[in-house]
């Protein structure tokens, strides 16, 4: 017996539990297990990290990357993965290294 594949009309509707567009109200930075560290001298200012970060946690001044907003960064590591700088410009460190 072959199962019929589901189409998009068969999928249960999703719901927004709270109000929409509330990302700024929730400081999700406490979720992270890893923290990106910017190595300024190796940065070529390509802005790929800004483009790919899913949380808009890359700080910018004009068109220059200036570091991370750790209140929103979830530590996914995408920025470090896509950073094309020849010498590493973003290093992921364990969050436990920053505990007091």
Q: Does 45 bind ligand SF4 (CB under 6 A)?
A: yes
Q: Please tell me the distance from the alpha carbon of residue 100 to that of residue 38, in angstroms, as a whole number.
A: 21
Q: Which of 23, 33, 44, 60 binds ligand SF4 (CB under 6 A)?
A: 44
The single residue listed with the structure tokens 């990302």 is: 23
Q: Which of 47, 59, 91, 95 binds ligand SF4 (CB under 6 A)?
A: 47
Q: Which residues make up the interface to ligand SF4 (CB under 6 A)?
A: 36, 38, 43-49, 53, 55, 57-58, 65, 68, 73-79, 83, 85, 89-90
């Amino acid at each position: 017996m072959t199962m019929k594949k589901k189409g998009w009309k068969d999928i249960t509707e999703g719901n927004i539990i709270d109000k929409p567009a509330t990302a700024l109200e929730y400081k999700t930075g406490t979720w992270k297990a890893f923290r990106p560290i910017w190595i300024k001298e190796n940065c070529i200012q390509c802005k790929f990290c800004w483009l790919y970060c899913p949380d808009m946690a890359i700080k910018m001044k004009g068109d220059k990357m200036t570091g991370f907003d750790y209140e929103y960064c979830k530590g996914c590591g995408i920025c470090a993965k896509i950073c094309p700088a020849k010498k590493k410009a973003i290093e992921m460190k364990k969050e436990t290294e920053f505990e007091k």
